[in-house]
């Protein structure tokens, strides 16, 4: 059976979408997840875009061992130099060079004649090839390009050393029939096409990204570019979990395999949602909460008699395990760490200690701790979510709120910073607003916008943990904070403080010229 390579661009195209920017720790956490998921290629970023992007592509290149790591580059010397500098430490580096090929893009964006585009594409692929044997060439806006022109640019790219040819549906405009035809046409008309792997990269503007990618596979594409949860510009990219499970479930139609460990899909999806501070829509294919729920009596009856009546794939196949009640206040450290291991976490001793402390705190407030609670605790205490707070950060000492449906809410709060304590009282539209106003009085933050404030419950029941995400923007950057508690005001305060501390760390580093 032919293999289809899975090229994940969550860290590049996904991260480009509004509200989804990530810091270095978050990106490394996602890269580790992708490695466990066994994607073939991780597009770690667009190295030339900023020093931060360069740093993250470089760090991921040096961290990941089992996947190809790519950096995007426009077809210019400067971009390719930056991309190579960033990926050269990878076990298997790739430079991904792109230039637009549609009449619209060539005339209005590039202001180049078609012949100039052909020449630049050839020259720049050859330039990248001097550094790296693994070169991907993308013809941006391929689906609105002339097919013969696309075939010419493809043969030039291959002649100059491109090993993968990607034909993106940049604006999510194409249809499955067209996509299949496009791949078949270019493979048939570009000389040397048998030397390269053809790839599809679809956007979801018309909701057809998954279908279009799969149609590309039927046309002979053997790489799909996609993102976890379909994150990406505008309506997003092809969702990794959808194309992988479609090929897996419908082998009779696609007759291809992938290297993906499908049991890591759910965990990867959750990690990405946690990091961007969102939750999966309930009805999201493959990973939504309702994807395997059977409410209608007639369905339940069928499923009880034989699961296959209404279930085409199992929750276990994507790594969803029954949300059992697992641990409680009497569970010891050993049982706790063993259970985390069983859930697939490999934590350091320090991380386990920190998680165990929080677990004990939560046990005082909540009788039964479920796997979902444990996952939330781990997410809050490992890698990306440990606030990058140096000793100058603020933390919560105590707070008290007063609220009713006939008075204005007030909050009195005490924050700690090193050995000092700071107190303030403020009013607000509800206790959370009052608490944030009191924090602002102490911290006096610089101007920022509030992008996301979300409160989600981790499990069922009245005593569920509240998982709060706060995202603020300032200096054209996003700062995320998360808090976890059975008390949503406490969770909100901790999330807000984390985001504020991150902003303060950024400002002090910028002042020091780092």
**Interacting residue ranges for ligand KIV, rule: CB under 6 A:** 13, 72, 98, 138, 140, 166, 168, 170, 201, 203
Nearer to Zn ion, 232 or 466 (CB): 232
Q: How many beta carbons lie within 10 A of that of residue 441, not counting itself? A: 14
Pick 117 or 200: Cβ nearer Zn ion: 200
> Toward Zn ion, which CB reaches closer, 13 or 92?
13
Measure the CA–CA gap between 355 and 344, rounded to whole angstroms.
15
- Residue 373's binding partner among ligand KIV, Zn ion, none (Cβ under 5 to 8 angstroms by kind) is none
Q: Which residue is nearest to Zn ion (CB)?
A: 13
The residues, ordered by sequence, that sit 6+ positions from 31 with a Cβ below 8 Å of its Cβ are 11, 42, 44, 60, 63, 64
Identify which of residues 243 and 318 has a Cβ nearer to Zn ion in the complex: 243
Q: What is the DSSP letter of 286?
A: T
The nearest distance, CB 93 to ligand KIV, in angstroms, is: 17
C-alpha angle 466-468-474 in degrees, rounded to nearest 5: 170
**One of 8, 13, 371, 373 touching Zn ion (CB under 5 A):** 13
Q: For residues 421 and 413, is the Cβ–Cβ distance under 8 A?
A: no
Q: Is 92 in the site for Zn ion (CB under 5 A)?
A: no
Q: Minimum CB separation from ligand KIV for residue 341, in Å?
A: 38
Judged by CB, which is closer to ligand KIV: 92, or 140? 140
**Which one, of 177, 108, 178, 121, lies nearest residue 149 by Cα?**
121
Q: What does the H/E/C string look like for 72-124?
A: EEECCHHHHHHHHHHHCCCCCEEEEEEEECCHHHHHHHHCCCHHHHHHHHHHH
3-state secondary structure (DSSP) of residue 137? strand
Residue 270's SS3 state is: helix
- Contacted by 140, from Zn ion, ligand KIV, none: CB < 5 to 8 Å by type: ligand KIV
Near Zn ion by CB under 5 A, which window of 6-14, 284-292, 395-403, 494-502?
6-14
Residue (88 or 144) nearer to ligand KIV, CB: 144
Tell me, what DSSP letter sits at residue 439?
H
- Please list every residue from 332 through 371 that binds Zn ion, using CB under 5 A: none
Q: Shortest Cβ distance from residue 362 to ligand KIV (Å)?
A: 42
CB of 276 to ligand KIV, least distance (A): 19
In the complex with ligand KIV, which residue's Cβ is closer, 23 or 170?
Answer: 170
Phi-psi region of 174 (alpha: psi -120 to 50; beta: other; left: phi over 0): beta
Our CB check for ligand KIV shows the closer of 16 and 262 to be 16
Q: Determine the Cα–Cα distance for residues 221 and 163; give it in Å rounded to an integer.
A: 13
Residues contacting Zn ion: total by CB under 5 A: 1
Q: Does 140 interact with Zn ion (rule: CB under 5 A)?
A: no
Minimum separation from the CB atom of position 102 to Zn ion (A): 14
Got the DSSP string for 315-368? GGGGT-----EEE-TT--HHHHHHHHHHTT----HHHHHHHHHHHHHHHHH-S-
Q: ∠ at Cα 330 (329, 332), nearest 5°?
A: 110
CB of 140 to ligand KIV, least distance (A): 4
Decide if residue 35 touches Zn ion (CB under 5 A). Answer: no
- Find the shortest distance in angstroms from Cβ 221 to ligand KIV: 14
Q: In the bound complex, what is the minimum distance in angstroms from residue 16's beta carbon to Zn ion?
A: 8
Q: Which does 14 bind (CB under 5 to 8 A by kind): ligand KIV, Zn ion, none?
A: none
Q: How far is the CB of 169 from Zn ion (least distance, A)?
A: 9
Residue 168 vs 481, nearer CB to ligand KIV: 168
Residues that bind Zn ion (CB under 5 A): 13
């Amino acid at each position: 059976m032919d293999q289809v390579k899975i090229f994940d661009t969550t860290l590049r195209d996904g991260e480009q979408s509004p509200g989804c920017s990530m810091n270095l720790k978050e990106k490394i956490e996602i890269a580790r997840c992708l490695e466990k998921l066994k994607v073939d290629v991780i597009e770690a970023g667009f190295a030339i875009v900023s020093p931060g992007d360069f740093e993250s592509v470089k760090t991921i290149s040096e961290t990941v061992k089992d996947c190809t790591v790519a950096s995007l580059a426009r077809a210019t010397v400067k971009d390719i130099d930056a991309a190579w500098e960033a990926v050269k430490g990878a076990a298997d580096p790739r430079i991904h060079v792109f230039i637009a090929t549609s009449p619209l893009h060539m005339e209005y964006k590039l202001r180049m004649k078609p012949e100039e585009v052909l020449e630049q594409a050839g020259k720049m692929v050859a330039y990248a090839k001097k550094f790296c044997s693994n070169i991907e060439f993308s013809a941006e806006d391929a689906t609105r390009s002339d097919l013969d022109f696309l075939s010419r640019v493809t043969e030039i790219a291959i002649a100059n050393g491109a090993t993968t040819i990607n034909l993106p549906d940049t604006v999510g405009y194409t249809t499955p029939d067209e996509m299949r035809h496009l791949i078949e046409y270019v493979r048939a008309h570009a000389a040397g096409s048998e030397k390269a792997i053809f790839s599809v990269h679809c956007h979801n503007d018309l909701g057809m990204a998954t279908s279009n990618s799969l149609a590309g596979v039927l046309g002979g594409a053997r790489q799909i570019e996609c993102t976890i949860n379909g994150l990406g510009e505008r309506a997003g990219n092809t969702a990794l979990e959808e194309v992988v499970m479609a090929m897996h479930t419908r082998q009779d139609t696609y007759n291809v395999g992938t290297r993906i460990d499908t049991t890591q899909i759910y965990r990867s999806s959750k990690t990405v949602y946690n990091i961007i501070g969102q939750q999966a829509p309930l009805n999201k294919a493959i990973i939504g909460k309702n994807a395997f729920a059977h409410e209608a009596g007639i369905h339940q009856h069928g499923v009880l008699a034989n699961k296959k009546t209404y279930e085409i794939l199992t929750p276990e196949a994507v790594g969803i395990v029954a949300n059992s009640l697992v641990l409680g206040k009497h569970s010891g450290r050993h049982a706790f760490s063993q259970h985390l291991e069983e859930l697939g976490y490999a934590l350091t001793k320090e991380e386990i200690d920190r998680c165990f402390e929080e677990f004990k705190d939560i046990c005082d407030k909540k009788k039964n701790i479920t796997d979902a609670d444990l996952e939330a605790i781990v997410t809050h205490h490992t890698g990306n979510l440990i606030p990058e707070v140096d000793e100058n950060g603020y933390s919560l000492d105590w707070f008290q709120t007063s609220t009713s449906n006939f008075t204005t809410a007030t909050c009195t709060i005490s924050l700690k910073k090193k050995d000092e304590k700071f107190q303030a009282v403020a009013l607000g539209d509800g206790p959370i607003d009052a608490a944030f106003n009191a924090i602002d009085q102490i911290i006096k933050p610089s101007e920022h916008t509030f992008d996301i404030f979300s409160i989600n419950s981790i499990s069922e029941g009245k005593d569920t943990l509240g998982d709060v995400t706060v995202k603020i923007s300032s200096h054209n950057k996003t700062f995320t904070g998360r808090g976890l508690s059975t008390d949503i005001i406490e969770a909100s305060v901790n999330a807000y403080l984390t985001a504020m501390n991150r902003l303060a760390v950024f400002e002090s580093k910028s002042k020091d010229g780092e």
